[in-house]
Structure 1
Amino acid sequence: MNNQPYYLSSEEHLATTFREQIEPFWQQHVTQGNFAGVAGIRVNYAYCIPKNAGYSVLISSGRIESLLKYKEVIYEFYRNNVAVFIVDHRGQGLSGRMSGNPHHGYVDHFDEYVDDLCWFIDNVVTPRQRGALHLLCHSMGAAIGALTILAKPDCFARAVFCAPMFGIRPALPGWLAAILIGLSRLYNSLPGTKGYFFGQRDYHADAFGCNRLTSSETRYQLFRTLYSQQPEIQLGGVTPQWLAAASNAMWDIEHHAAKIHLPALVFSAQNDTVVDNQRQARVAAHMPGAEFVSVAGARHEILIECDAIRQPVIQRILSFFSAGQ
């Protein structure tokens, strides 16, 4: 590992860091914009390029996430002379919605996410890129990222997948998942139903003690406060359409994993109850250049975990990308 002393933020001073450093940085150095994605859906993005940027990173975020949630990560990368580019995937964050209920987790096919990301790379990232371009993904964004690598195999130098959605929990057999999706679609065709898969609902903020995402109360509360203050980025549960599209995407990734040759780190959160760690390991084992790393004690959102878990991961990501120059 590179022993270079990287800048890393800390929980102890995070509220002050946000107020005195991160928010002013966001206003002064981050450029935001949008473009018309597939079928004219608005896709929002942001980027920042430090003066002495050594390389570039494209962030592909997870389900329900917004680029606004990544301010801490983006600031850390910026402070370490890394150019950062990020999109809000269609149907979430600041981007346009595709159903009558803005809380619906909806997409027809993951190719739509990939096509949006490819347009962003070609038209926004590439003209501004500094050095090699690396890919940093989380959860659903890792599925999108893997499919993008398959679509553009020479685009990225290295990739990091954090708690990748190569399988979801509960890990149901394919035949049973197909039956449940079909039943849910049939149910949702009835008058008065709300369009969600069974058990899903509009955005709801769980108390910290009930959350499955992180053991960092500081970062969890910052995340929930952000979503409370900017309700336009809130997103609820998934629809049968999204679940069917996700199932197809995950099978595509598993079937073609051997074609993902670039050097990659796959960080698996040991205490993850959202995605399927066994399927992660199986998929990673088929990627010729991948190293599978189980992160002890981590819940699903490794990038907003407590310092003891998060800082070694961020350090390793920065060292891994730096070695790819």
Structure 2
Amino acid sequence: MNAVVDPNGPRLVNIASNPMPEGGRVGYFKTEDNVRLRYATWPKSEGAHRGTICLVQGRTEFIEKYFETVADFRRRGFSVATFDWRGQGGSERLIGNHKLGHVDKFEDYWCDLRSFHGEILLPDCPPPYYLVGHSMGGLASLYAGINDRMMFDRIFLSAPMVALDRQPLSMAGMARVTETLSFVGLGQMPVSRKQDRPMSEATFASNPLTGDMIRYMRAVDVVREWPELAIAAPTVRWAAAAFGAMAEAAQDSFPARIKIPLLMLAAARDEVVSTAAIERLGLRMRTGRHLVLANARHELFMETDSIREQVFAAFDAFITEQS
């Protein structure tokens, strides 16, 4: 059976280079503050039942990008539930320029996740629940581990966005600057760089995300099929929200507030988020650990087969064998 699609509801892009896993269900749900988000769920495909993986993405990403990873989890006996964050993918956009990534405050992502847990996970997906987050979704997942330690049994993070390198100021300093710009009315202005370009065959050679061209091009193919899924630069307001959350994650008191068993994977060649900051946080956590994968770039789930094997070996040791 292919995905169950309401004729008046959302769709998932299903193309030859990125086939949709069978047996899925796609729909919309409303958050507590009335934002419409696109979601999808799949039952396990093999083995004994082990629970449900709640998969949350990074900035700019969308459900279709994780089809292969969804299939990997299902083969291990997990159901999978995922959604597009507000302001990106197939979910509701928050400002007039739909190509800009925007959020008013970082806590809004916690609202998305909390609403998803109550509206979709609890009624429709078998427990126990495990949270898997990448990049920006990894930072949001850390806050989930602080805000409600009963929602998920364990948290597994891929290159969480706990800090950015090569910034002119600290995360707290960058938060103050961007908050000031937002206060004076520039919150919806884009934060972009001259070297930022849309993903294409031409950008693969210099891309900071993955060394695997086939997986890189899958995302390109999906956006070509449905251009409205893509967003480009974030807004100043998004930057203020993100820098504020990263500044809080750098505080000495932050690691002790995480009460859920947690494993963070970092990429040794990451040029998007700070691997050093992930290591510092991992060393200070009481309930968590971290691992750094050699030769890996930022998108660990989209990397080469050899790197993905390491990712799933860590996942299996931390979650599959404990479930």
Letter in 2 for 1:33: G
Map residues 65-104 of structure 1 onto 2, 5 A cutoff. Answer: 65-104=61-100
Map residues 99-248 of structure 1 onto 2, 5 A cutoff. Answer: 99-171=95-167, 172-174=169-171, 176-178=173-175, 180-181=177-178, 185=182, 189=186, 195-199=189-193, 204-206=198-200, 207-248=203-244
**Residue aligning to 1:3:** none
**Residue aligning to 2:55:** 59
Distance verdict in 2 for CA 1:188–1:236, change over 3 Å: farther
Distance verdict in 2 for CA 1:182–1:119, change over 3 Å: closer
Letter in 1 for 2:138: A
Is 1:170–1:276's contact at 8 Å kept on the other side of the alignment?
no
C-alpha offsets along residues 141-180 of structure 1, whole Å, 9 cap, x if unaligned? 0111111121111111111111000011324324642464
Distance in 1 between residues matched to 2:163 and 2:314, nearest whole Å:
24
* Partner SS for 1:164: coil
TM-score by length of 1: 0.85
Distance in 2 between residues matched to 1:262 and 1:38, nearest whole Å:
24
**Residue aligning to 1:10:** none
Is 2:28–2:37's contact at 8 Å kept on the other side of the alignment?
yes
Distance verdict in 2 for CA 1:38–1:242, change over 3 Å: farther
Distance in 1 between residues matched to 2:265 and 2:81, nearest whole Å:
21
* Partner SS for 2:178: helix
Letter in 2 for 1:197: V
* Partner SS for 1:258: helix
Is 2:165–2:273's contact at 8 Å kept on the other side of the alignment?
yes
C-alpha offsets along residues 181-207 of structure 1, whole Å, 9 cap, x if unaligned? 267548974xxx982025379972251
Is 2:55–2:82's contact at 8 Å kept on the other side of the alignment?
yes
Query: Cα offset for 1:285?
Result: 2.1
Is 2:256–2:286's contact at 8 Å kept on the other side of the alignment?
yes
Is 1:203–1:237's contact at 8 Å kept on the other side of the alignment?
no
**Residue aligning to 1:11:** none
Query: Cα offset for 1:258?
Result: 1.1
Query: Cα offset for 1:305?
Result: 0.2
Distance in 2 between residues matched to 1:186 and 1:112, nearest whole Å:
19
**Residue aligning to 2:36:** 42
Is 2:37–2:91's contact at 8 Å kept on the other side of the alignment?
yes
**Residue aligning to 1:270:** 268
**Residue aligning to 1:302:** 300
Distance in 1 between residues matched to 2:29 and 2:165, nearest whole Å:
33
Letter in 2 for 1:231: P
Query: Cα offset for 1:77?
Result: 1.1
TM-score by length of 2: 0.86
* Partner SS for 1:40: coil
Letter in 2 for 1:282: R
Distance in 1 between residues matched to 2:16 and 2:96, nearest whole Å:
36
Residue in structure 1 matching 2:291, options 260, 277, 293? 293
Distance verdict in 2 for CA 1:37–1:307, change over 3 Å: same
* Partner SS for 2:55: strand
% same residue: 27
C-alpha offsets along residues 4-42 of structure 1, whole Å, 9 cap, x if unaligned? xxxxxxxxxxxxxx849x73x63x411111112254221
- Stretches of structure 2 that go unaligned for 5 or more consecutive residues are 1-14
Distance in 1 between residues matched to 2:265 and 2:240, nearest whole Å:
25
Query: Cα offset for 1:75?
Result: 1.1
Distance in 1 between residues matched to 2:279 and 2:100, nearest whole Å:
30
